[in-house]
Structure 1
């Protein structure tokens, strides 16, 4: 699903109005109706009461129409206007229609409620906000954020900017956004303002949506499934790839074991682990399906092998011993095929940035926020960070997997925002498993971009399935591996 910049969203509105022969108010009614239907379905109890806070622009107009529709459907509704603000013509029309239906309208900011039977609808600001909220608007935002009730924001949380950092905004439980997601929803600095996002199709011009290009993709199941490669009927272990997973050191053999097992469970026909001797018995016992090459007693001091892997993953549990660092450098200079680089291998690159030029083109780097900071330097805000990551990717021709609560894959100017996953993944070893999954997919013939995008999607999908069955608390890195099979089966069923 494409994510459009603000100017493209506005252009889509204008083209829809022109081509469909409707007015801007007609489009407002359509969008508000979709939001009303979602709210009604989610809250069938007619004892639920709604307080709808409306600004003076078209987002406020959406709120007025939603309030009218809820009232007509039998809900208790109260509209809160902000006194003394300038209003748009469509807002005035929506307000008159609400008043004609006897919906309660007040300038009071007082909220009367009965716990979970009351819901706040935030329709103060839409995408047209150009400056920080102040005065009465700031007072209302603080009131909403401190009310302790469920908050539904229409299109975006009021106060949230789409193209620059946000200081203050409504802290929404649910955002009902129109036609396509907004990139700002998924930036880590905005996590306080955005929880659940529901994308509502409001019938914007399909030709425009399909033909207009976007460098940002929201990877939903449709997009992820187009990247999936079915296992051929004639496949055997020699045609399904050979993944080499390099890593491990004394006390950190578990990390490399998780990666190797994940590569196998991702479908790799063969997996070889390259580890220090101290991990030999552990890995052979824990993972009898994997082959093992050893070097060094407690850490790897040299990387040399005669096998011909189709993909190499390196880093989990590797350690930062000086000999290990030089062994990694030697491997970079000998290999031309793309690699998956994670954990300590990333930290070694950060300490030796001149080695980045030796990393094979189209390799995949999987940093968490601190590892990314060590690689590319400090940034002022998330928008600057994304520009720095794009520049880094283009300079070294690398695929960047930015691990976070909402993981993103960046390749040059393209950004892929993952849609799956939850806080069950906040557990030690989760990243090691992701390294194994991506390495296993590359080994089977996936491009490195497809392996990263699809691997991240699968990784998150295991948590969505597993958390529902065993809880987020009980979900571990090993659970990701255990649920990979169910994740693949879900993808396969959707691809039929």
Structure 2
């Protein structure tokens, strides 16, 4: 599914109005009915409600919701902030209708001074101040109002976006001037900032409400941002020929492990073996050989130095190479890494210490061959990019620029992992959970993607299918044992069921 910018969302509204056709005030009624339905299924009529409405169309939504809740027997106090005497047309119409109906318990139009109502733990606050139309941080009285709401013990539901949170880039925003919602009811599509970890404290749970905005327009408008869905992944899955043999199913090489880090090599190798590849060779130091032979007897073991990776190997016989889990950061390993990358012709996945070593040798990143696949978590990416990103939005932009300039595939790992493509596109993953925030989870992902590459998937589809499968296996594992007890091996053990779900 596409992710649209704030400007595109407003264009979508207007296109729907023009081509359905539907009057803009009726489209607002449609949205308000969906919001009211979501609220009434979660909060009973004994819940006291306070609606804070801004002067724009988000405020108009809030006023319409206040009217509809009152019609259903809710006790609603409504505050409309009309500081500058400029209400949008639909906000004005909903103000007049709300006043004329006379059902709302209290209605206050704030033009100068504001005496805030008491907000306690039993109160439901409906935030309809600004929604998705904001393009700069809140200041002055509105910032003070946000702080007052956040300091209360009330439950807060935001319409479309928590007021103060912008739809895309919040790098220079003021955290204290953003509503911290318990629930965000967003219209039709998730906004870009909803996929960033640093925006989650403001969003609470996000529920997307279908208000029947134009599917034709959504389909036609270009956007660099999309989410992956199960149907796309199913279409990419390669079928196993009945006459396949291990030689026709790909041969993967994993370069992993160092002294004390045999576990990373074990996890990556086990995940690779569970992901359909015909044969896996694991290159690891001699100190890990006994562990590897016992833990993954199906793998071919290649021995390097005594304690760490120190010499590139000929890679002509391999279909794909994964490098980095538990590799360590010895200078000999760094030199061997660059030698390996320069001579390897098959697809390569770089993870963990491979990325850290590149990051510690600043000029090396520009010498990488094209079409590398890199799977950093945020700190690894900042080291790789030799910068400190101050927000997830900024990090995504830097990653996109790097993917384009290097002609690389950069998979930023997180709850919504983001694959930055060489053509500038970004695809967010939709599977996975917080239980996967555990040591070794990234090693499993490296093994899965390396296997898919060796199996014959394109680089793009190996990344997309790999991150989806990895997250799906994590979801399956959590359904069995819960988030608190999940370890990386549980993700590997759930891979067979994840594959079965996609075939």
Alignment of 1:258 with 2:257, yes or no, is: no
On the 8 A contact 1:246/1:273 being kept in 2, the answer is yes
Partner of residue 141, structure 2: 136
Instruction: Work out the CA distance in 2 between the residues paired with 1:122 and 1:305.
Output: 61
Partner of residue 126, structure 2: 121
* Contiguous gaps of at least 5 residues in structure 1: none
| Structure 2 residue matching 1:13: 3-state secondary structure | helix
Instruction: Work out the CA distance in 2 between the residues paired with 1:373 and 1:63.
Output: 41
State the Cα distance separating 1:237 from its structure 2 match: 2.8
Aligned in 2, Cα 1:94/1:249: closer, same or farther, shift over 3 Å? same
Alignment of 1:448 with 2:447, yes or no, is: no
State the Cα distance separating 1:18 from its structure 2 match: 0.8
State the Cα distance separating 1:113 from its structure 2 match: 4.6
On the 8 A contact 2:126/2:159 being kept in 1, the answer is yes
On the 8 A contact 1:311/1:440 being kept in 2, the answer is yes
On the 8 A contact 1:241/1:444 being kept in 2, the answer is yes
Partner of residue 77, structure 1: 76
State the Cα distance separating 1:232 from its structure 2 match: 4.2
* CA deviations over 1:435-459 (Å, ceiling 9, x no partner): 1111111112222122222222222
Instruction: Work out the CA distance in 2 between the residues paired with 1:416 and 1:199.
Output: 19
TM-score by length of 1: 0.92
State the Cα distance separating 1:432 from its structure 2 match: 0.9
Partner of residue 23, structure 1: 23
Alignment of 1:155 with 2:160, yes or no, is: yes
On the 8 A contact 2:252/2:321 being kept in 1, the answer is yes
Aligned in 2, Cα 1:441/1:71: closer, same or farther, shift over 3 Å? farther
On the 8 A contact 2:251/2:320 being kept in 1, the answer is yes
Aligned in 2, Cα 1:329/1:134: closer, same or farther, shift over 3 Å? closer
| Structure 1 residue matching 2:401: 3-state secondary structure | helix
Partner of residue 304, structure 1: 313
Aligned in 2, Cα 1:229/1:180: closer, same or farther, shift over 3 Å? farther
| Structure 2 residue matching 1:210: 3-state secondary structure | helix
Aligned in 2, Cα 1:458/1:193: closer, same or farther, shift over 3 Å? same
Aligned in 2, Cα 1:137/1:223: closer, same or farther, shift over 3 Å? farther
* CA deviations over 1:128-159 (Å, ceiling 9, x no partner): 22332233322221122122333221111101
Among candidates 266, 274, 288, match of residue 283 of structure 2: 274
Higher mean C-alpha deviation, range 382-391 or range 208-217: 382-391
State the Cα distance separating 1:283 from its structure 2 match: 1.0
On the 8 A contact 1:338/1:361 being kept in 2, the answer is no
Among candidates 416, 430, 441, match of residue 406 of structure 1: 416
Partner of residue 470, structure 1: 481
Among candidates 278, 285, 288, match of residue 297 of structure 2: 288
State the Cα distance separating 1:244 from its structure 2 match: 1.1
Partner of residue 32, structure 1: 32
Aligned in 2, Cα 1:131/1:320: closer, same or farther, shift over 3 Å? closer
| Structure 2 residue matching 1:192: 3-state secondary structure | helix
| Structure 1 residue matching 2:203: 3-state secondary structure | coil
Among candidates 229, 244, 269, match of residue 238 of structure 2: 229
Question: RMSD over aligned Cα, in angstroms?
Answer: 2.2
1:159-178 map, 5 Å:
159-165=164-170, 166-167=173-174, 168-178=177-187
| Structure 1 residue matching 2:457: 3-state secondary structure | coil
On the 8 A contact 2:400/2:421 being kept in 1, the answer is yes
State the Cα distance separating 1:31 from its structure 2 match: 1.6
State the Cα distance separating 1:223 from its structure 2 match: 4.1
* CA deviations over 1:114-133 (Å, ceiling 9, x no partner): 54xx4322111022223322
Instruction: Work out the CA distance in 1 between the residues paired with 2:421 and 2:145.
Output: 41
Among candidates 104, 110, 117, match of residue 117 of structure 2: 110
Instruction: Work out the CA distance in 2 between the residues paired with 1:14 and 1:25.
Output: 12
On the 8 A contact 2:169/2:394 being kept in 1, the answer is no
Partner of residue 112, structure 2: none
Partner of residue 323, structure 1: 332
* Contiguous gaps of at least 5 residues in structure 2: 109-114
On the 8 A contact 2:149/2:179 being kept in 1, the answer is yes
Instruction: Work out the CA distance in 2 between the residues paired with 1:307 and 1:21.
Output: 61
Aligned in 2, Cα 1:491/1:46: closer, same or farther, shift over 3 Å? farther
Instruction: Work out the CA distance in 2 between the residues paired with 1:51 and 1:426.
Output: 37
* CA deviations over 1:268-312 (Å, ceiling 9, x no partner): 222111111111110111112212111111112223257722111
Partner of residue 436, structure 2: 425
TM-score by length of 2: 0.91
Aligned in 2, Cα 1:32/1:286: closer, same or farther, shift over 3 Å? same
* CA deviations over 1:65-105 (Å, ceiling 9, x no partner): 22222333344433233364532221122223333150223
State the Cα distance separating 1:381 from its structure 2 match: 4.4
